[in-house]
């Protein structure tokens, strides 16, 4: 089983982040209010932001280790990233976006198109291949961005608010689709959300981030039964958890 | 009161607009087709046209390649250094061209800062075609660099994070993502910069002089022709106006493709929000 572990401290403007987290073959869901540092944690793992000290480890290999002066550049970390607004390259088609990831991996030009199409197929987005990102709906963009992230054959996935900014029906649909995709991949994943219902869809393992720190870790039931902070209590109050399968 | 205010504002706006258009209209109306053709055959015109095309093309290349690199550095360095560099780059925009020409003379002239080193190498720059090119680079580079920096700043920074996470080196992320995604803004900046080069007069006159075939560009030819043959001056002027219209069209197209643009000095100097 691949695991992603991080134990880092970072100062980002007024926000001091200090978190220790790990994710295995189940997604770890990061829930927290706006500005609590959820996205920054993803950027620290990606190598887009640099921690002050600590250690980030993927599958036993250090991506960052202040004690050993290790700081791999983002392109060597093997992480798949789907940012909040999907971050699709506006000057490439959906297919081109996926093919770019293949190009970065050194896949020969002649094979890229077929492989990119196959990847779009796995996220049920093959008919969108020739569309420009501006012509994609939120849900479609999400699928293409996921296909692109998978094209780099990542060893872990980082998804930032994957279900925010979607209309209700698409959201409901992706709430089933994305977790099942993640489950099939069996990769460690960090999923950022501010919505407990979305968090529940991704699984049992939830870390609540407030002001740069983990204030509670547990299943949705544990959060609901014994909220550790007023934020958790408030988050859980209007929510009734889905019946256990 | 409101009505009076509206009439006053409309009148003021209309007056300015008319004032801006009148000289162009006058230029077009007072130049007949015969005058235009006769003017274009004036011996000053062909060499000036050739020289302008040559020098502005060279100066555009000299501006765009390092200017793109400089703009990228300005955007990447978030701190005081980036802002300081950007302010320095803006300087040639606000310096009067004649002052720029004098400054170039004091830098590259025979008695200038680099004059002795240059003459030791057997190089003399003032009053040569090279001086024309240097003057054009000096006055036009800021337009490109500022526009390019604005275009790069408009890019969503997560695009670059994604590109790197997919395995792209910084160089590949720049060339395959940042550059093409910012392309409309870069093209518009290049067009602005080229237009500034083409119209360059003051710094060229001071630093390169007004020698037919060597340093006499189209604007200098207009000035010279005015003394002998008004038709030639009008013909060259009309050519420059036609070029300006084509450029405007290019800029509008680029603006449509890249969102808000810096058409004109004030917005070129204004900094967009820093991410």
Indicate whether A144 and A159 sit together in one domain. Answer: no
Q: Is residue A134 a part of any domain in this protein?
A: yes
Count of structural domains within chain B = 2
Indicate whether A216 and A241 sit together in one domain. Answer: yes
SS3 category, B225:
helix
Count of Cβ atoms closer than 10 Å to residue A177 Cβ: 18
Report the pLDDT value the prediction gives residue A150, as an integer from 0 to 100: 94
Distance CA A146, CA A182 (A): 10
Give the CATH number for residue A71.
3.40.50.300
Indicate whether A206 and A171 sit together in one domain. Answer: yes
Nearest CA among B68, B209, B82, B87 for reference residue B152: B68
Residue A89 has its nearest CB partner, among B169, B177, B183, at B177
Distance CA B244, CA B247 (A): 5
Nearest CA-CA distance, residue A168 and chain B, Å: 26
Choose the final residue of a domain: A154, A171, A196.
Answer: A154
In sequence order, which residues have a C-beta less than 8 Å from that of residue B45 and are 6 or more positions away?
B39, B221, B225, B232, B235, B236
Q: Is residue A83 a part of any domain in this protein?
A: no
Match 């003379």 to its residue by tokens: B105
Indicate whether B20 and B96 sit together in one domain. Answer: no
Say whether A104 and B168 touch across the interface (CB within 8 A): yes
Q: Is residue A173 a part of any domain in this protein?
A: yes
Indicate whether A74 and A190 sit together in one domain. Answer: yes
The interface residues of chain B toward chain A in range 183-202, judged by CB-CB distance below 8 A, are 183
Say whether B161 and A46 touch across the interface (CB within 8 A): yes
Indicate whether B17 and B103 sit together in one domain. Answer: no
Say whether A81 and B165 touch across the interface (CB within 8 A): yes
Report the pLDDT value the prediction gives residue A121, as an integer from 0 to 100: 93
Report the pLDDT value the prediction gives residue A238, as an integer from 0 to 100: 63
Indicate whether B174 and B76 sit together in one domain. Answer: yes
Distance CA A90, CA A102 (A): 17
Indicate whether A168 and A234 sit together in one domain. Answer: yes
Is the CB of residue B36 less than 8 Å away from at least one CB of chain A? no
Query: pLDDT band for position A192 (50/70/90)?
Result: very high
Indicate whether A147 and A205 sit together in one domain. Answer: no
Distance CA A147, CA A131 (A): 14
Indicate whether A160 and A140 sit together in one domain. Answer: no
Choose the final residue of a domain: A154, A171, A192.
Answer: A154
Match 């509206």 to its residue by tokens: B6
Indicate whether B153 and B55 sit together in one domain. Answer: yes
Beta strands in A40-85 (DSSP E): 53-58, 61-65, 70-71, 79-82
Q: How many CB pairs under 8 A join A and B?
A: 67
What letters, b where the CB count within 10 A reaches 16 and e where it falls short, cover A134-171?
eebebbbbbbbbbbbbbbbebbbbbbbbbbeebeeebb
Q: Is residue B207 a part of any domain in this protein?
A: yes
pTM of the model: 0.83
Say whether B163 and A100 touch across the interface (CB within 8 A): yes
Indicate whether B152 and B71 sit together in one domain. Answer: yes
Dihedral of CA B69/B72/B74/B78: which sign? negative
Indicate whether B3 and B106 sit together in one domain. Answer: no
Walk across the sheet containing A79-82 and list its strands: A70-71, A61-65, A53-58, A4-12, A15-23, A213-218, A206-210, A27-31, A189-193, A156-160, A79-82
Q: Is residue B139 a part of any domain in this protein?
A: yes
**Mean pLDDT, 10 residues at a time, chain B of 275 residues:** 90 96 91 86 92 96 96 88 90 92 93 88 91 96 95 93 95 94 91 93 94 94 90 90 87 67 36 35
Phi then psi for residue A238, to 5 deg, are -85, 10
Say whether A151 and B162 touch across the interface (CB within 8 A): no
Residue B165 has its nearest CB partner, among A79, A89, A90, at A79
Q: Is residue B275 a part of any domain in this protein?
A: no
In terms of residue numbers, what domain contains A68? 1-78+155-245
Indicate whether A72 and A175 sit together in one domain. Answer: yes
Say whether A89 and B168 touch across the interface (CB within 8 A): no
Choose the final residue of a domain: A137, A154, A171.
Answer: A154
Phi then psi for residue B101, to 5 deg, are -60, -45
Question: Does the pLDDT at position A241 exceed 60?
Answer: no
Give the CATH number for residue B81.
1.10.3720.10
Indicate whether A27 and A102 sit together in one domain. Answer: no
Say whether A75 and B159 touch across the interface (CB within 8 A): no
| CA distances from residue A182 to A102, A202, A237, B90, B136 in whole angstroms, order as listed | 20, 9, 28, 51, 57
Report the pLDDT value the prediction gives residue B258, as an integer from 0 to 100: 59
Can you tell me the ipTM of this complex?
A: 0.91
| Average pLDDT over every residue of A71-78 | 95
Report the pLDDT value the prediction gives residue B261, as an integer from 0 to 100: 44
Return the H-helix or E-strand segment holding A181: helix A168-185
| CA distances from residue B9 to A119, B5, B14, B16, B17 in whole angstroms, order as listed | 60, 6, 8, 11, 12
Q: Is residue A84 a part of any domain in this protein?
A: no
Residue B166 has its nearest CB partner, among A43, A47, A104, at A104
Beta strands in chain B (DSSP E): none
SS3 category, A245:
coil
Say whether A85 and B158 touch across the interface (CB within 8 A): yes
| CA distances from residue A75 to A81, A162, B56, B242 in whole angstroms, order as listed | 11, 22, 40, 49
Report the pLDDT value the prediction gives residue B81, as an integer from 0 to 100: 87
Indicate whether A65 and A184 sit together in one domain. Answer: yes
Indicate whether A141 and A178 sit together in one domain. Answer: no
Indicate whether B215 and B122 sit together in one domain. Answer: yes
Is the CB of residue B10 less than 8 Å away from at least one CB of chain A? no
In terms of residue numbers, what domain contains B230? 33-269
Match 């043959």 to its residue by tokens: B229
Q: Do you know the residue count of chain B?
A: 275
Report the pLDDT value the prediction gives residue A166, as an integer from 0 to 100: 79
Count of structural domains within chain A = 2
Distance CA B60, CA B191 (A): 9
The interface residues of chain B toward chain A in range 161-180, judged by CB-CB distance below 8 A, are 161-170, 172, 176-177, 180
Indicate whether A73 and A105 sit together in one domain. Answer: no
Indicate whether B23 and B46 sit together in one domain. Answer: no
Match 């293949």 to its residue by tokens: A102
Q: Is residue B223 a part of any domain in this protein?
A: yes
Report the pLDDT value the prediction gives residue B264, as an integer from 0 to 100: 36
Which one of A12, A82, A87 would you mutate to disrupt binding with B, by most B Cβ within 10 Å of its Cβ?
A: A87
């Amino acid at each position: 089983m691949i695991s992603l572990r991080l134990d880092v401290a970072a100062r980002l403007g007024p926000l001091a982040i200090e978190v220790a987290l790990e994710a295995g073959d189940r997604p770890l869901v990061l829930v927290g209010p706006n500005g609590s540092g959820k996205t920054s944690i993803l950027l620290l793992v990606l190598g887009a932001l640099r921690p002050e000290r600590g250690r980030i480890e993927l599958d036993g290999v250090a991506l960052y280790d202040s004690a050993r002066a290790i700081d791999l550049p983002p392109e060597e970390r093997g992480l798949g990233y789907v940012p909040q607004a999907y971050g699709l390259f506006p000057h490439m088609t959906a297919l081109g976006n996926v093919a770019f990831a293949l190009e970065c991996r050194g896949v020969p030009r002649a094979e890229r198109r077929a492989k990119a199409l196959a990847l779009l197929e796995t996220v049920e987005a093959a008919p969108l291949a020739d569309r420009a990102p501006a012509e994609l709906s939120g849900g479609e963009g999400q699928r293409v961005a996921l296909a692109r992230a998978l094209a780099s054959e990542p060893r872990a996935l980082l998804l930032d608010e994957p279900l925010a900014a979607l209309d209700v029906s698409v959201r409901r649909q992706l709430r089933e689709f994305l977790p099942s995709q993640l489950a099939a991949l069996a990769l460690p994943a960090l999923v950022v959300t501010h919505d407990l219902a979305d968090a529940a869809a991704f699984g049992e393992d939830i870390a609540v981030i407030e002001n740069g720190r983990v204030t509670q870790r547990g299943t949705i039931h544990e959060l609901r039964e014994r909220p550790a902070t007023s934020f958790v209590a408030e988050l859980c109050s209007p929510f009734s958890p889905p019946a256990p399968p | 009161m409101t009505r009076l205010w509206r009439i006053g504002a409309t009148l003021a706006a209309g007056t300015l607009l008319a004032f801006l258009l009148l000289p162009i209209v006058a230029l077009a109306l007072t130049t007949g087709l015969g005058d235009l053709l006769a003017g274009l055959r004036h011996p000053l015109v062909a060499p000036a046209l050739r020289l302008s095309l040559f020098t502005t093309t060279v100066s555009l290349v000299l501006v765009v390649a390092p200017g793109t690199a400089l703009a990228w550095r300005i955007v990447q360095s978030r701190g005081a250094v980036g802002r300081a560099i950007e302010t320095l780059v803006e300087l040639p925009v606000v310096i009067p061209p004649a002052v720029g020409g004098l400054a170039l003379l004091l830098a590259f002239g025979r008695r200038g800062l680099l004059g002795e080193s240059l003459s030791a190498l057997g190089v003399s720059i003032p009053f040569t075609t090279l001086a024309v090119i240097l003057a054009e680079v000096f006055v036009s580079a800021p337009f490109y660099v500022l526009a390019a920096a604005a275009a790069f700043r408009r890019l969503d920074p997560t695009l670059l994070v994604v590109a790197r996470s997919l395995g792209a080196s910084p160089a590949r992320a720049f060339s395959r993502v940042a550059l093409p995604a910012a392309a409309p803004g870069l093209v518009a900046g290049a067009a602005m910069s080229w237009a500034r080069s083409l119209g360059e007069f003051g710094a060229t006159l001071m630093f390169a002089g007004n020698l037919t075939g060597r340093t006499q560009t189209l604007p200098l030819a207009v000035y010279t022709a005015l003394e002998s043959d008004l038709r030639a001056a009008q013909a060259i002027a009309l050519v420059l106006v036609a070029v300006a219209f084509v450029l405007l069209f290019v800029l509008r197209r680029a603006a449509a493709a890249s969102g808000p643009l810096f058409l004109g000095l004030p917005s070129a100097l204004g900094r967009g929000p820093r991410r």
